[in-house]
Amino acid sequence: MENNTNALKPIKFSHVIGRDFNSTLKKRVRAYFKDNNISKHANANMKIKTVFMISLYFTPYFLMIFGVVTNIWLIALSWFIMGLGIAGIGLSIMHDANHGAYSKNDRVNFIIGRIINLVGGYAPTWKIQHNILHHTYTNIHGYDEDVSPAVPLLRFSPRDKYIPAHRFQFIYAWFFYSLMTVMWMTTKDFQQLFRYKKMDLTKTENAKFGKLMFELVATKLFFYLYVIVIPIIFIDIAWWATLLFIIMMQLIAGFILAIVFQPAHVVPETAFPEPDRDLTIENNWAIHQLETTSNFAPKSRILYWLVGGLNYQVEHHLFPNICHVHYKTLSKIVKSTAEEYGIPYYSEPTFFSAIRSHGRMLKKLGMPPAPETAA
C-alpha cells in the first residue's frame, strides 16, 4: 500500500485528566433520556421545523418560476426569503442529519443530510470539515479549518500567520463572512475533496474518490440548472437582475451562518490549545470542548428555534449525535456538572453581546504578536 505522507496525523487527548467529569456527565445525560423515556433524536417540533425551513426556501422559488410572483420588488423579497431558507436548512435541518442526530435510521439521516447539496454545498466534504476536523480538533490551528481560513486576510487563531492588514479585520471580516455559501456553490467543495483525498480523509465517507467526484459534479450541475438557468429562462426580468438576486440570496445566507458559528469559538474567553511534539493535548477531549467553545443567548427561545439550538454550542460539541431540540435541557446538566468539577462553562447573555465579543477577538487577533523574548 502506498504511504500517504500527506495523511492527517491524529492528535491524542488525555484519557486520565478529566476522566471522572466525562464519565459523570455522560452518565447523567443518559439517565435524563432513560428516566424521561424520550428519544435523543428528532421530536414533533423538529419535524415541523423541517417542513417550515424547506418550505421557506422552495416556496418562493416555485412562486417565481410559475409566474405567481411577477412584481420586481416581490421577486427581490422572494430571493431574500430564500436566503433565510438556506440558513435555516443549514443550521436546523441538514446539520443534525449529517451528525446522525436527526433520526436513529441512518438512511433518514443520509437523505435529509443531502439537502445541503440542494442549496449549494456538498454533504461529504462538509461532514469531513465539520464533524471530523472541527469537532475533534476544535480551535487547534492546522487541524480545525474553521480557525484556519483559506483567506489570508482573516486571522482566527493566535498561531496563524500575521500580516499588517489584520489590524482592520474587525471591520472587513463581516463582508468575507457573507461569502461562505458563495464559496460553497463555486470552488470550495472541489478544493476540499482533493485536499481531503491527500489527507486520507475521504475514506471516512465509505466511498471511492471517483464516486464522490461524480456525485459532486452532478450535484453542482443540477444546482446551477435549477438555481441559475431555470430562473433566468422563466422569471420575466433581465438576466442580470436574476443573477444579482441570486448573489444577494447567497450573501444573506452566508452572513447568517457565519455570525452564528464564529461567536461560538473565536472569542476572548475560548482557548486555542497547541499539541506537544508527539501530537498530544494534555487534556480530556470533553474538557477541551468546554475550554474552546462558548454559548450565547441561552434565554432566547426564538433564537434557539431559528438557529437550530446552535446558541448551545457547548452541548452540541459534547453531544453532536443528540438532536438540538434537547440542548436547552441538557445545558442545565452540563453547566451544573462543569461547576461541580471546577471546569469553565462560557456563555454570553445575548446574541449581540456574543457578536461584540467576537468583534473584540477579531481586533485582538489583528494586533501584531508580541515579539518572543530570549530565555
What pLDDT was estimated at residue 192? 96
Per-residue pLDDT of 21-75, as tens digits, reads: 999 999 999 999 999 999 999 999 999 999 999 999 999 999 999 999 999 999 9
Assess if residue 136 is contained within a domain. Answer: yes
Query: Which residues, at least 6 apart from 26, have a Cβ–Cβ distance to it below 8 Å?
Result: none
pLDDT class of 2 with cuts at 50, 70, 90: very low
Mean pLDDT of 112-139: 96
Assess if residue 26 is contained within a domain. Answer: yes
pLDDT, mean over the chain: 94
Assess if residue 109 is contained within a domain. Answer: yes
Residue 126 scores a pLDDT above 70 = yes
Are 264 and 130 spatial neighbours (Cβ–Cβ below 8 Å)? no
> What's the Rg (C-alpha) of the chain?
21
Assess if residue 374 is contained within a domain. Answer: no
Choose among 185, 189, 188, 255: nearest CA to 227.
185
pLDDT class of 373 with cuts at 50, 70, 90: very low
What pLDDT was estimated at residue 300? 96
Assess if residue 1 is contained within a domain. Answer: no
| Count of the separate structural domains present in the chain | 1
Question: How many Cβ atoms sit within 10 Å of the Cβ of residue 170?
Answer: 17
Q: Supply 11's cell numbers.
A: 492528535
- Domain range spanning residue 322? 12-365
Query: Burial level of 207, CB count in 10 A (0-12/13-18/19+)?
Result: middle
Per-residue pLDDT of 271-318, as tens digits, reads: 999 998 889 998 899 999 999 999 999 999 999 999 999 999 999 999
Assess if residue 6 is contained within a domain. Answer: no
Assess if residue 370 is contained within a domain. Answer: no
Mean pLDDT of 85-102: 96
Residue 233 scores a pLDDT above 90 = yes
Question: How many Cβ atoms sit within 10 Å of the Cβ of residue 99?
Answer: 21
Q: CB pairs under 8 A, 24+ apart, for 158-163?
A: 158/272, 158/365, 158/369, 159/272, 159/274, 160/365, 162/368, 162/369
Distance CA 83, CA 245 (A): 10
What pLDDT was estimated at residue 16? 83
Distance CA 86, CA 111 (A): 17
What pLDDT was estimated at residue 4? 55
- Chain position carrying cell 454533504: 123
Residue 243 scores a pLDDT above 50 = yes
Query: What phi and psi, each to the nearest 5 degrees, are found at residue 12?
Result: -100, 140
pLDDT class of 3 with cuts at 50, 70, 90: very low
Q: What is the pTM of this model?
A: 0.93
